[in-house]
Amino acid sequence: MSALAAVLALAALAADAPYHATKKDFSAVQEGIRTYRKVQDELWPGAGDVEVALYDARDVFLYSHRADYPLPKSGAWRGFTIYRVPHGEKLTKDDLRGCGGSKPFVDRALSKATSRDAYFTCVPLGAFVAFQKRRKEGTVYDTRESYLATFVHERAHVYQRNSPNAPDVVHAMADFLDEGSIPPSSDRGQSVLAEAYAQWCELKAAEKLFPKHYGRLKAWYKPEAEGDHDIGLGLALRALKGAGGTR
């Protein structure tokens, strides 16, 4: 094998190697938590921290304020205990794509400790950006600041799920219903409204903390797109505009 072929073979191996969270990825999680904390008094008054479950190709790393879970501990950070549990799932690099709600394999790994309503999941920053950059349809989630803004989005989903009757949530939902013809009783309507709320929170945070991501999100919106996130983004943008962007 020539030297060049050897280098190329190594590069191909590295590209397919299972992704394991790095020091940089953990510091991005911690910055993500700090990010949602900056807006939580405004967006979710009275709500505290939630748990964050970072997963890579091998493990789930749970950041929790509870120190008494019967799970192996791997560290601590500012009042959080970090637990590390192998999830036993075979994940390819395309499975490590984003952040969201609970996942069956994460739930199984954490079942002795916490409940699916208490946490949101996220992949490491490095895997997140790499996946987004591979998306052929383009994305605005290919930067560190979009990853941090996603922590606000996911924190918002947990809040809306657990406090659907909080006055701010009820108020925001009424605004979204004014802005579009959404049948709120259908599953699809519920999902679109939940995305509108999370996007609304993400936009409010981005406007303040990440002006570049805010501008990209606004420019990204395509009225013809039909995904729940897309329709939700449109409703959130219209509701913010209707309120003069200052509510």
For Zn ion, the binding residues in 183-202 under the rule CB under 5 A are 195, 198
Nearest to Zn ion of 59, 230 (CB atom): 230
E strands of the chain, at which residues? 51-55, 59-64, 73-77, 80-86, 99-100, 119-122
> Which residue number places its CB atom closest to Zn ion?
198
Residue number, 63 or 200, with CB nearest to Zn ion: 200
Structure tokens at 154: 């996911």
CB of 207 to Zn ion, least distance (A): 18
Q: Shortest approach of Zn ion to residue 79 CB, angstroms?
A: 27
> Binding residues for Zn ion, how many (CB under 5 A)?
2
Residues in a beta bridge with 77: 80
**Site pattern 143..182 for Zn ion (x: CB under 5 A):** ----------------------------------------
d(CA 154, CA 149): 9
- The CA-atom distances, in angstroms, between 173 and each of 113, 166, 179, 199, 223 are 32, 11, 10, 12, 20
- Window 43 to 62, contacts with Zn ion (CB under 5 A): none
3-state helix, strand, coil split of the chain in percent (to 5) is 55, 10, 35
Least separation in angstroms between CB 141 and Zn ion: 11
What is the closest distance, in whole angstroms, from the C-beta atom of residue 196 to Zn ion in the complex? 9
> Which residues, at least 6 apart from 141, have a Cβ–Cβ distance to it below 8 Å?
98, 128, 132, 147, 150
The residue among 195 and 230 lying less far from Zn ion, judged by its C-beta, is: 195
By beta-carbon proximity to Zn ion, the closer residue of 60 and 198 is 198
**Closest distance of CB 37 from Zn ion, Å:** 19
Q: State which residue, 113 or 198, has the beta carbon closest to Zn ion.
A: 198
Report the distance separating Cα 44 and Cα 91, nearest Å: 34
State the minimum distance, in angstroms, from the CB of residue 228 to Zn ion. 8
CB closer to Zn ion, 198 vs 206: 198
Q: Establish if 205 lies at the interface with Zn ion (CB under 5 A).
A: no
Q: In what order do the strands lie in the sheet with 73-77?
A: 73-77, 80-86, 59-64, 51-55, 119-122, 99-100
- Site residues for Zn ion per CB under 5 A: 195, 198
